[in-house]
Structure 1
């Protein structure tokens, strides 16, 4: 934690559960969205003999909705049998994640080291491991394209998923025409997914919240060179059919976007400032975000992304404020992720240790109700 950020708690306890900022509350109110009461939670002095004054504590993220994307522990799933005592392969790693407390997993591939079985594991075998450990597959990051989509849906259904998605953006383009074309494809694939009882979703990185080039003079190829201030994925929200296309916000990358994508050049050539707000992006369309990556970052303006990726609870991102403000806790599934959790040969258990501490911190997020 950096000295200038000490006022933002990294771990959330019963004494700081309601910390929505005044600026966030004002913005939500102006948008016609519900505003949470801010300030210190009340601890009663009567009525129930000082035991909460009618307040009851509930987990902010229900236990059944606490998940992990297996990309975070890919080093151990892909590991060959060894003598370290650290779990390896799907059977041992998923058993350990269930022991930690996770109820859901999001896939990032379906392979393990062939030395474990003498061949590659099958989706049917993975499904049995899930069932044996009381785990549910809530989604996957796979390739989304028309040619292989039916095959990918077959695997998703074999594993019991309700969502199928990708770890990338629908397009990396800065131009509306490319996002329009992507929306046509995703609307059709989403329709096919819905017919099979699945929801199609896309996962963001920070580039998705950069500004479109949709205004001003044209370049030699006839493309705009300036911006109206509209962000790429926010344009896609309206082009994608809400019946068929859903989203998984990576909360860490959304806050990186808040750091990186703050200015654009308007059609007149003037620089404009616009601060991206992850909460205000989700709150008006919360039902379109069934999944989240609960990935934490410690603010560090000296690095390109403005944050160092850390286990959940060790950084500055205010998950309490985020999940409490967007509401609908039973709708949303939070998958912990850390892109660089592996400790390599020096600390082979590091990714699983990070998974354990992150689960503890996720489970301690609490909401108080009367």
Structure 2
């Protein structure tokens, strides 16, 4: 075979191979892209930070608050929400001492439940010195009328205004009673609609919304951006006394993976464990179990 003919045959073979391969390549590319999109859609997230309301271990805090907070940090909690256990919101410590402890154990004190109706400025000054972001009203009690709830809303606005110079925000933590219909309306709606979003945020206790037979997901969507903090505790399957249905996270019927994902999309920033009922074990054991659950939870 002469050289020109041999070169022609080789060139033809190369072109034929290229023509055969090119369609396969172009067909394969969209498939890879679809797989990548599917992988992105199925990708799961985890909470990088979550906290605990120290009231969950109130007995231990009363005995030795420093040792208790060290133990909680060892479970993986990166945030604390405090309460006034009779020693003030800093548990009898000086601000510099308290800040040093938080730095040492790698925890941020993000908020504290407090009596915001008394000595507000003194508490705000302490909170600001240690970097607390929120002072939270944990309880107002059932009000006699919707007009009384409107008065509370006005008072909340005033509290929020007073906290502004300290760089601290005010929030209200709900119980079940604000989700029970009264005079044809939902009291929580009155609080939401009559407070200034620039002055008042809300902390949704998801358990109390759930056991009041309201729907946490729907309520979060109704007021996007208003709930910046939430309490996580689970409710056993079924009905019964709402004060006696608390169980460890993952042992009940509240769909936390879905709720956490949705609430983050609606402005939720802080996810705080609160355990008030202990069917088995000690409060610290419950805190450890809840931290383990949240560390593994994918959404």
Q: Answer whether TM exceeds 0.5 for this pair.
A: yes
* Alignment of 1:165 onto 2:136: yes
Q: Choose which of 89, 96, 119 in structure 1 pairs with 2:71.
A: 96
Give the 5 Å matches for 1:1-370: 47=32, 53-55=38-40, 57-61=43-47, 63-64=48-49, 66-79=50-63, 89-109=64-84, 120-145=92-117, 147-169=118-140, 172-213=142-183, 227=184, 230-258=185-213, 276-301=214-239, 303-305=240-242, 308-328=245-265, 331-341=268-278, 350-367=282-299
Give the 3-state SS of the residue equivalent to 2:245 in structure 1.
strand
Q: CA 1:340–1:60 in structure 2 vs 1: closer, same or farther (change >3 Å)?
A: same
Retained in 2: the 8 A contact 1:60–1:324?
no
Distance 1:342 1:323 in 2: 24
- C-alpha RMSD of the superposition: 2.6
Cα distance, 1:127 vs. partner? 2.6
Superposed CA deviations along residues 253-284 of structure 1, whole A, max 9, x for unmatched, are 111111xxxxxxxxxxxxxxxxx222111123
Q: CA 1:127–1:320 in structure 2 vs 1: closer, same or farther (change >3 Å)?
A: same
Q: CA 1:329–1:351 in structure 2 vs 1: closer, same or farther (change >3 Å)?
A: farther
Superposed CA deviations along residues 113-172 of structure 1, whole A, max 9, x for unmatched, are xxxxxx954444333211211110111111011x41101111211331111112113x52
Larger helix proportion, structure 1 or 2? 2
Cα distance, 1:308 vs. partner? 1.7
Higher RCO (C-alpha 8 Å, min separation 6): 1
Distance 2:218 2:195 in 1: 19
Paired residue total? 264
Cα distance, 1:72 vs. partner? 0.5
Retained in 1: the 8 A contact 2:230–2:268?
no
> What residue ranges of structure 1 are gaps of 5+ in the alignment?
1-45, 80-88, 113-118, 214-226, 259-275
Cα distance, 1:329 vs. partner? 7.8
> What residue ranges of structure 2 are gaps of 5+ in the alignment?
1-30
Distance 2:278 2:244 in 1: 15
Q: CA 1:328–1:296 in structure 2 vs 1: closer, same or farther (change >3 Å)?
A: same
Distance 2:109 2:172 in 1: 17
Distance 1:97 1:207 in 2: 31
Distance 1:51 1:181 in 2: 54
Q: CA 1:278–1:174 in structure 2 vs 1: closer, same or farther (change >3 Å)?
A: farther
Superposed CA deviations along residues 28-83 of structure 1, whole A, max 9, x for unmatched, are xxxxxxxxxxxxxxxxxx849x999533644343x22x00000001111112xxxx
Retained in 2: the 8 A contact 1:299–1:306?
no
Compare 231-240 and 185-194 and name the one that shifted more: 185-194
Larger-gyration structure (1/2):
2
Retained in 2: the 8 A contact 1:109–1:142?
yes
- 1:20 aligned partner: none
